[in-house]
Amino acid sequence: MCSPKEMPYVKCLLFLLIASAAQAADACYPARLVGSYAFQLAGVTSISGAPQPTAVLGRITFDHSSFDGGTVSGTSSIKIAGFLLGNPVTGTYQVKPDCTVTWQLQDDSGAFQHFTGKYTLDGMRVQFRQSDTGGIRDGLMVKTPDSCGSNDLKKNYSFNVTGNTTPMNPGEAARNVSAKGVIDTVRDGGFQVDGDCTVHFTMTLPDSPLMTMRGFLVNGGKEILAFQTDPGAMVSARLTGLETAP
């Protein structure tokens, strides 16, 4: 700490103001979490019994109705055992001074799921996990605009696709899926953007059938969180926009 003995009073006051501003910039403010986020969970769940590969994608909105929390609402889709299930969800959330956030979601069947994570100081991203016993550990949530259009797409995205498939028809075989590369949204994939920032596209990987993908534009269009909607696939994709052509 400075004191008038160590430096002139005006300089000391300026030093304290700067220090105070720096501390404020590094503080966790619950209001920064307010808004809509797309989220993605990928991994193995054993909540229903035997471990099963799973991919989850959704969009939820945090409504700041109290100092340390509020309500949550949105939609969540899950790929498990090769099937696609989707539900509207509602719930509540609570934040703590260390940027920790916990929330619970209830689907229209009445079942609850619980989550815990930590958001960045700007409220843009949340790394999280499902805290129920046997829940998925690898979760990412990124803020998404209230509305989007095709102009929000970047021309090129790098992608990372991971997951696996399970046979749904005779003659099919289970496969592990893992690939990285670059996709051109003008030339490849037939990218379509809905007003709620949902993105529909296709991908073709070596030695793999055509993949039908659904995702969300996040971070102002700089990223896409997605998963494969084809029967039998529990495959997630994360796309990051490139500033220049590869």
CA 9 from centroid of its chain's CA atoms: 48
Quickly tell me which residue has 């099963």 as its tokens: 52
pTM as predicted:
0.87
Round to whole Å and give the CA distance between 153 and 198: 11
Which domains does the chain show, CATH number per domain?
A: 30-143 (2.40.128.120), 150-241 (no CATH)
The per-residue pLDDT for range 15-59, each reduced to its tens digit, is: 433 333 334 446 888 889 999 999 999 999 988 778 999 999 999
The per-residue pLDDT for range 119-173, each reduced to its tens digit, is: 999 999 999 999 999 999 999 999 999 899 999 999 999 999 999 999 998 888 8
Round to whole Å and give the CA distance between 54 and 51: 9
